[in-house]
């Protein structure tokens, strides 16, 4: 990328040299025509030299400190060179005057490089350099006007030069500078945001589906652990320990993989993330979008799994295999979620009180013989849409059960 940037810088320098050549031809009749050409030649050599240096000395890796410092030095030198030629052209025109009979055209062409070089400096996306360029040109231009106004007998201004027109030109340049500086700042911020999003997306894509990674990256990313709202989904196969003792090993593995496959499909279809498998248990997360959308997606996933499990059980019955039953627990809350990297292994997961509560909800759902159990916190998110939301009813707790997390199930 740095090599491409260097090539683009060289092209821009060549274009500016051509524009300045046209400026010199238009102002060829001034009193200072000889110095004009000399300064232009010096600028052309230095400008092309800096462009070639930026192209050939670009480091292979953008992160190299030496290469970055060299690029900064070249950019600063280019900014100072551009400011020098821009203020020379403006001041030289004011001192020489327009003796060609085409005053307006010569004045416009003499001021054009200042605006063109301002844009080039801004496109480099270095706000400090843009301010430096604008400040130097403004100070020199304004200082010349002020001196000419305070000391009219100095004869600084050419015969066809009007202070009013020069002040107007300076104010125009100052306004353009403010616009370019603000645009440079905004563009730099936008590029930084885009790069951050792409980095977060690349990190998350190692752990979650591509679409989910893109959504999370746009929402602020989870490349590092962050506290955010999530809807938690836990699935367990009922009676799996007894099932493993009664069935052949191949049948146990097949049943486990079938449940994992249909759960993974149902969760990812709704934008969720299958976080981990622990034995016959599956933990999934819904962390993107609004909390209400997370809850509806989690519930749709649970219902889809229920429908597909009935189809799977019909196929198992036809093969003479026992039916499978599951327990799904749904909870919502703020958790610490993201990529945890200890230097040996990176893992995308969640931590927090809500995770511990989810385990208790699942255990109580199993004791109550429920297929689906949701916490009050989860149900509260579904109440935002009472017309389309599910009909839930409280679960009668057994004696001694904790009342801190009341359970509900589908009516």
3-state SS, 287-307, equals CCCCHHHHHHHHHHHHHHHHH
DSSP 284: E
Q: Which two tokens stand for residue 162?
A: 């009007």
| Inter-CA distances, 79 with 116, 176, 184, 320, 393, Å | 13, 17, 15, 81, 71
* pLDDT score of 107 more than 80: no
Q: Which residue has the tokens 């958790």?
A: 335
Instruction: Read off the pLDDT of each residue in 256-264 and give the average, rounded to a whole number.
Output: 94
Looking at the predicted structure, is the pLDDT value of residue 394 above 60? yes
Task: Pick the range with the lowest mean pLDDT from 56-70, 79-93, 371-385.
Answer: 56-70
In this predicted model, which residue has the larger pLDDT, 389 or 182?
182
For residues 388-397, average pLDDT: 66
Provide the 10 A C-beta neighbour count for residue 253.
12
How far, in Å, CA of 203 to CA of 223, rounded? 6
Measured distance CA(376)–CA(22) in Å, rounded: 76
| pLDDT surpasses 70 at 353 | yes
Smallest Cα–Cα separation from 5: which of 159, 128, 126? 126
Going along the chain from its start, the domains and CATH numbers come out as: 2-204 (no CATH), 211-410 (3.30.70.1230)
Of 25-39, 139-153, 276-290, 357-371, which gets the smallest average pLDDT?
25-39
**Which segment of 118-122, 190-194, 199-203 scores lowest on mean pLDDT?**
199-203
Q: What is the mean pLDDT of residues 344-369?
A: 83
The average pLDDT across 207-220 equals 57
Q: How confident is the model at residue 63 (pLDDT cuts 50, 70, 90)?
A: very low
Q: How confident is the model at residue 149 (pLDDT cuts 50, 70, 90)?
A: confident
Highest mean pLDDT among 12-16, 88-92, 292-296: 292-296
Which residue, among 45, 54, 43, 111, has the nearest Cα to 82 in the 3D structure? 43
For range 95-118, the mean pLDDT:
63
Q: Which residues of 292-305 are buried (b: 16+ CB within 10 A; e: fewer)?
A: bbbbbbbbebbebb
């Amino acid at each position: 990328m740095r090599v491409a940037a260097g090539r683009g810088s060289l092209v821009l320098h060549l274009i500016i040299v051509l524009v300045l050549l046209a400026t010199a031809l238009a102002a060829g009749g001034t009193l200072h025509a000889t110095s004009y050409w000399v300064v232009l030649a010096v600028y052309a050599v230095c400008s092309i030299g800096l462009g070639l240096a930026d192209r050939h000395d670009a480091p292979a890796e953008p992160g190299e400190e030496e290469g970055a410092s060299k690029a900064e030095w070249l950019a600063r030198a280019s900014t100072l060179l551009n400011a020098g030629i821009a203020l020379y052209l403006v001041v030289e025109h004011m001192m020489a005057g327009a003796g060609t009979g085409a005053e307006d055209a010569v004045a416009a062409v003499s001021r054009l490089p200042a605006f063109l070089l301002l844009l080039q400096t801004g496109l480099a996306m270095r706000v400090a350099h843009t301010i430096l360029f604008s400040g130097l040109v403004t100070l020199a231009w304004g200082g010349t006007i002020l001196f000419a106004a305070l000391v009219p007998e100095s004869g600084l201004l050419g015969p066809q030069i009007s202070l009013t027109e020069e002040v107007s030109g300076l104010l125009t340049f100052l306004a353009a500078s403010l616009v370019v500086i603000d645009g440079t700042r905004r563009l730099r911020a936008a590029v930084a945001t885009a790069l951050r999003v792409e980095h977060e997306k690349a990190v998350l894509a190692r752990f979650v589906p591509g679409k989910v990674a893109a959504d999370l990256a746009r929402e602020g990313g989870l490349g590092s652990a962050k506290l955010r709202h999530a809807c938690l989904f836990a699935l367990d196969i009922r009676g799996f320990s007894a099932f493993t003792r009664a069935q052949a090993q191949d049948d146990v593995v097949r049943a486990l993989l079938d449940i994992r496959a249909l759960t993974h499909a149902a969760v990812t279809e709704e934008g969720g993330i299958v976080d981990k498998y622990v034995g016959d248990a599956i933990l999934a997360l819904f962390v993107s979008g609004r909390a209400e959308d997370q809850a509806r997606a989690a519930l749709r996933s649970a219902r889809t799994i229920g429908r597909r499990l009935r189809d799977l059980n019909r196929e198992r019955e036809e093969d003479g295999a026992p039916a499978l039953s599951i327990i799904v627990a749904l909870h919502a809350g703020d958790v610490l979620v993201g990529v945890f990297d200890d230097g040996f292994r990176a893992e995308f997961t969640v931590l927090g009180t809500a995770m511990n509560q989810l385990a208790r909800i699942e255990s109580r759902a199993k004791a109550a013989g429920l297929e689906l159990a949701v916490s009050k916190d989860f149900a509260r998110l579904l109440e935002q849409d009472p017309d389309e939301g599910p009909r839930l009813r409280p679960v009668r707790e057994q004696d001694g059960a904790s009342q801190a997390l009341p359970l509900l199930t589908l009516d």
